[in-house]
Amino acid sequence: MSRVYNFSAGPSMLPLPVLEKAQKELIEQGGSGMSVMEMSHRSKPYEAIINSAEANLRKLMEIPDNYKVLFLQGGATLQFASVPMNLMKKGKADYIVSGQFSKKAADEAKKFGEVRIVASSADKNFSYVPTVSKSDFSTDADYVHICSNNTIFGTVYNYTPETGDIPLVADMSSNILSKPIDISKYGLIYAGAQKNMGPAGLTVVIVREDLIGNARAGTPTILDYKVQADNDSMYNTPACYSIYVAGLVFEWLLELGGLAEMEKINVRKAGKLYDYLDSSLMFKPTAEKAYRSIMNVCFVTGDEELDKKFCSEAAKAGFVNIKGHRSVGGMRASIYNAMPEEGIEKLVAFMSEFEKNNLKGR
Ligand SMILES: *Cc1c(COP(=O)(O)O)cnc(C)c1O
């Protein structure tokens, strides 16, 4: 068996101990006589799996009791529609556009009401995150929507927007569980699992109880947060296996020491890569320093041919999926929780070697 260092933005690496545990339990889980994939979602063994996944996520993220945790499907993209369908009581929302996903979220919300773009960083190809303050928001907005970490552009909010009484909604798909956050500052958080939580197919929604129960007329039953909450995310069959693997990831994080410990590791990991990039004569990071993501690190050589050569040689050396998104070009190393520190150290060593070999004569 030979595993590569997978820098994919998503679906992305899972912790090896999680995969090993899933492998061990693949055919028969916990004395149930069957695979998790074969279980009824309403059976006792499965109930134990989903309940412990929720309990462990609550513990990890210190989710207050007045928040519901929902295990849904449809990806973060379906939440672009579900959020306005459920939260737009007055039909108005404020959006901050800091990348491609927040733009998509705003465009989708326009189908359901009046969307105001409070700020955007499109002017500099989303290389920074706009700074907004309380007075920038519409007093009658139903919510303010942000994307906390911009997966494609490698930028992150270095502050939490102060929205006063207006609920703050955040797409945290690419940085949930990367560090501790104060849940009470948010009305709703959502994230697709396949970046930092588990396999694709699961979308986690964490929502303050008082915000649910007001879905607009015509909202499909399955998309109504109240229906999902009242049915413990089992209005229909949930993404059973993805929830099980995400549960193993939550256990792995708890054993590691929780999110404060994970953040320390992530800061150290990203620091090693950014320190090299800052000293390199060949590679340049694309995100403004103050908004650098510790999950997605974007960089370029400034020469498309050289970028191509780098990606191809990197892949041969076992560093795969490092090509940047087409809207930024260059490279993107997604270094989520599961990327071992050693993977980054080896990547940096590989990059320095590539730099030495290719800088000559330029
Ligand atoms: C990946 C991603 C999405 C899209 O997620 P899907 O699960 O594919 O719908 C949305 N927002 C952010 C921030 C992402 O990283």
Q: Which residues have CB under 8 Å from 222's CB, separation 6+?
A: 228, 235, 236
Tell me the pLDDT tens digit for each residue of 252-269: 999 999 999 999 999 999
Closest of 191, 187, 234, 226 to residue 39, by C-alpha: 234
Domain that holds residue 307: 5-13+257-358
Last residue of a domain, one of 190, 221, 256: 256
Q: What is the CATH number of the domain that holds 9?
A: 3.90.1150.10
Domain match, 211 and 109 both? yes
Domain match, 285 and 145 both? no
Distance 102 CA to ligand 1 centre (A): 10
List the beta bridge partners of residue 149: 156
Distance CA 15, CA 343 (A): 13
Q: What is the mean pLDDT of residues 180-198?
A: 98
∠268-274-276 over CA atoms, to 5°?
105
Domain match, 304 and 188 both? no
Distance 244 CA to ligand 1 centre (A): 20
Q: What per-residue confidence (pLDDT) applies to 34?
A: 98
Last residue of a domain, one of 223, 256, 289: 256
Distance 104 CA to ligand 1 centre (A): 10
Domain match, 295 and 246 both? no
Domain match, 126 and 48 both? yes
Domain match, 178 and 244 both? yes
Q: Please give the structure tokens belonging to residue 268.
A: 């150290």
Number of domain units in the chain? 2
Closest C-alpha residue for ligand 1 atom 13: 173
- Does any ligand 1 atom lie closer than 6 A to the CB of residue 147? yes
Domain match, 290 and 207 both? no
pLDDT band at 204 (very low <50, low <70, confident <90, very high): very high
Distance CA 205, CA 83 (A): 10
Torsion angles phi and psi, residue 314, rounded to 5: -60, -45
pTM value > 0.95: yes
Last residue of a domain, one of 193, 227, 256: 256
- Does any ligand 1 atom lie closer than 6 A to the CB of residue 10? yes
Closest of 187, 158, 184, 194 to residue 77, by C-alpha: 194
Q: Which residues have CB under 8 Å from 270's CB, separation 6+?
A: 292, 293, 294, 295, 297, 335
Q: How many CB atoms lie within 10 A of CB 352?
A: 15
Distance CA 201, CA 42 (A): 19
Tell me the pLDDT tens digit for each residue of 328-341: 999 999 999 999 99
Q: What per-residue confidence (pLDDT) applies to 1?
A: 74
pLDDT band at 362 (very low <50, low <70, confident <90, very high): low
pLDDT over 60 at 361, yes or no: no
